[in-house]
Amino acid sequence: MSEILDKVKKEKRLIEEIETLIPGFRGYKMRELRREADKLVRDYIVRKLKEAKDNLKECMLIVAENDRAELYGLINRISALLDLVTSKIEHADYGYSGFFDAVKIKVDELEKLLEYDNSLIKSANEIVTASKSAQDLANDLKFDELSSKLREFKKLLDRFDELINQRENIILGV
């Protein structure tokens, strides 16, 4: 988590560096940097999920070319779930709370959010690995093994969806 925040801090311009030295403004600027880091992490996760979606599409093409209709329903459910979790991450709150917002996000909550999003990267990477394994099995025409790999893939997505829901609880302070 801190390496992402450090990278964002390094990218600051001179004027932004001066702004962080002004009393009162420093805390505001640090919150903005944390929000920006959170957004970068979520953008990375979205790219990984889209990579998994591409692998799944390739898998579906191979299944269709080989008339393995028994796998269509499972792949379609996985595809819909993958679209859902991608959308949730892509459009998730990124730690911003305006002056008039009912739910205020404080610095320590932003820190937790950034750490939590960082942990989501690991899950997103597992999803990509599972999708690549499914694609490899489809390429090798190992449809029995593909069926069990797809079920494993769906379980990873279900767990990831639950993690995203828990992220919302961090924002709400529940």
**pTM of the shown model:** 0.75
Distance in angstroms (rounded) separating the CA atoms of residues 117 and 95: 11
- Please state, in angstroms and rounded to a whole number, the distance separating the CA atoms of residues 51 and 53: 5
The number of distinct structural domains making up the chain is 1
The count of residues in the chain is: 174
Q: Give residue 57's identity as a one-letter amino acid code.
A: K
State the residue range of the domain holding 54. 2-172
Q: How far is CA 172 from CA 43, 90, 113, 135, in A?
A: 21, 18, 11, 38
pLDDT tens sequence for the chain (174 residues): 567 666 656 666 655 666 666 666 556 666 677 677 778 888 999 999 999 999 999 999 999 999 999 999 999 999 999 999 999 998 876 554 443 344 455 666 666 777 777 788 999 999 999 999 999 999 999 999 999 999 999 999 999 999 988 877 776 665
So what's the pLDDT on residue 35? 74
In 91-142, which ranges are continuous DSSP H helix?
107-139
